[in-house]
A and B are shown apart, each in its own frame.
Chain A
Amino acid sequence: MSRPGRDDAPDRLYTLTGGRSRSGPDSPFDLVTLVVAECEPTPGMQSEHVAILRMTQAPTAVVEIAAELRLPVSITRILLSDLHAAGRVSARHPRKAAVPDPDILEQVLVGLRNL
């Protein structure tokens, strides 16, 4: 049985997020929400926030950000929620519907056939 130690990864993750393990239940960030930076990184900013702002100069999905930061998706969502609340990033959420829009399905098909 291992005792929690300072090198345990979860501790590092808690530090990154100020102790939170999940974003609020109303967190709108889907895996494929596209995130776009609305400002430049500033001195003194948390390094993960800097990395996100650099990465999202072009639209970048939440899952890509998580992979690049090598952080679990839930932790990445918390970091993004903070940046979003501060107006530093904007979010382009997927157009979710109970049933997919037939026009979107057609666009997906056309896009795939053109591959």
Chain B
Amino acid sequence: MDSATSDVRTPLGASADNGLKIVVVGGFGVGKTTLVRSVSEIRPLNTEETMTQAGEAVDDISEVRGKTATTVAFDFGRISLDARNVLYLFGAPGQERFWFLWDRLFSGTLGAVVLVDTRRIDDSWYAIDRLEHHGTPFIVACNDFGGPQHSPAAVRDALDLDPQVPLVSCDARSRESSKQVLIALVEHLQAYYAGQAARPRQEFV
């Protein structure tokens, strides 16, 4: 994976002071990096995080070596929104080990896009389940791979998607289409948080 070197970096303006996060989650080959690249002002960069699970009780010593360290690589791009706000877009794998790092890396994320390949729709189940678990608002975007079109109702049904969660289709190679995905997410966030503020907190009974 190549990464930009110092002489090709595009620096932010001096007044930039508020970093924001949106995460694009999806299975391998679903087009996360393509989507990030389509809208990013920098060539997507790649980095990694390692988590040691020290302190966790392990009953079977043979399991220890495989489980003590979790390394997850992720891509990211950047969009300068205005003089102060900078949006970072993270393309992250949806596999199990990634979610151990969610709180450490992606707390405070505005929201997420679950990118779906309708030919492999089952790959998206786990990501949706985990986002719901973390209370992160999200939308689902089906990346068009030119195969047979599935009706939105069929995709919703297959994903068992909450009716409140927007479902859009996109071409991750297109800047305009990828931009519309992000706009759909932020519009959903506005509605989501406005609705949350209007609703009284649920009590456990």
Contacts and interface: CB of A to CB of B under 8 A. Distances in A.
Interface in B38-63: 39, 45-52
B54 to A, nearest CB: 9
Interface residues of B, number: 52
A64 interface: yes
A108 B20 contact: yes
B50 A63 contact: no
A78 B48 CA distance: 15
Contacts of A57: 11
Nearest to B101: A73
B18 A104 contact: yes
Interface in A88-115: 92, 94-96, 99-100, 102, 104-113, 115
Nearest to A71: B47
Contact of A115 (B49, B179, B189): B179
Given A59-B12, A67-B46, A99-B196, A73 B85 contact: no
Contacts of A110: 81-82
A60 interface: yes
Q: Which of A33, A34, A60, A111 has the most CB of B within 10 A?
A: A111
Given A67-B46, A70-B3, A34 B12 contact: yes
B159 interface: no
Contacts of A34: 12, 16-19, 86
Given A34-B86, A107-B81, A108-B87, 4 more contacts: A31-B105, A74-B49, A96-B108, A100-B189
